[in-house]
A = this chain, B = another copy of it.
Amino acid sequence: MQALVDASRRKESVLVAGLDPIPSRFPEELRILPEAEATLEFCRGILEAVEPCVAAVKLQAAYFERLGTVGMGIYAGLIEAARDLGLPAIADVKRGDIGPVAAAYAEAHLGVYGATCVTVNPYMGVEAGLPFLEETRRQALGGGVFMLVATSNPSSREVQESTEPPLFEVIARMVAELGRPAGDYPDAGAVVGATRPEIGGRARALLPETLFLSPGYGTQGGDASGIRPLLDCNGGGVLVNSSRSILYAYERSASDYKDAAREAARESRNELRLAGARM
């Protein structure tokens, strides 16, 4: 995780820009291009625009997979472009399989495609997380794994909170066990949504020293104050992802999509600072 922490401190920003390229929402001048070409162009423009204001980028793998093999080429190219800009890339793949299968996914996203961190789904247990951690440990590049703990979508409650103990607490304990010291934070992090303060606070109580990646800021309904319960006792420990409210900021503005994205990223970064989040 140290690669993310270092970038966050250098940029004085806990903001992560999520690349969720949805061609139907691209600006008109890109919508006339073939989807793959438009996706590459749009995402490159966003990367360069937001770079000064963000700690990292998060690539939503699904939007590249839906473009077939060409899309995976674009995904690889964007991870490389981010690295050239000094931005660590989080591969938001939410893979969840075991043993050699998980190791193959780890090799793909952390190795072949070159991401710094990945998101992982814990339904199959510690066996789903370990191969990814082993790959980041082997690489020793300051990477890490964010395990889904408490996500911010409505129907997650039925799965993650309806049992006794709540599943998200079981998984939080698993994350605590899986992580090893790796600089300022252990190498096993947690995805914890910012929309439900009581759940976020409970996750923080169980994981006092863990780095959180928090979605749900911006268009998913969370605002900067929702981050407070997630902060550790030093006001740190949280990276906050924002995707569509940055990417498609131009829809609510008279600016070029890149200028609008940069401005939205700058505002979000400042809002998060005011809420007390720092690294």
A-side residues, CB < 8 A to B, are 20, 22, 60, 62-63, 65-70, 72-73, 76, 94-102, 104-105, 107-109, 111-113, 121-128, 148, 151, 153-160, 162-167, 170-171, 174
Which residues in B have their C-beta under 8 angstroms from that of A105? 62, 65-66
Would you give 10 A-B contacts (Cβ < 8 Å), ordered by A? A68-B72, A69-B72, A94-B97, A122-B123, A123-B159, A124-B148, A124-B156, A124-B159, A159-B171, A163-B165
Chain B residues, CB < 8 A from A112: 66-68
Interface of A is mostly: helix
In Å, the complex CA distance between A159 and B124 comes to: 7
Please list the 9 inter-chain residue pairs (A to B) with the smallest Cβ-Cβ separation, ordered nearest first: A125-B155, A163-B163, A62-B104, A65-B108, A66-B104, A66-B108, A127-B155, A62-B105, A66-B107
Task: Report A218 CB to chain B, min CB distance, Å.
Answer: 15
CB–CB A126/B65 < 8 A:
no
Chain B residues with Cβ under 8 A from A109's Cβ? 65
What distance in Å separates the Cβ of A132 from its nearest Cβ neighbour in chain B?
A: 12
Distance from A176 Cβ to chain B, minimum over Cβ atoms (Å) = 13
Give the CA-CA distance A25 to B170 in the complex, in Å: 37
Give the chain B neighbours of A160 by CB distance below 8 A. 123, 125
Docked pose: A105 CA to B63 CA in angstroms: 8
Q: Which residues of B contact A165 (CB under 8 A)?
A: 163
Give the residue name and chain of the B residue nearest to A72 (CB). Answer: B69
A69 pairs with B62, CB closer than 8 A: no
Interchain CB contact under 8 A, A159 and B72:
no
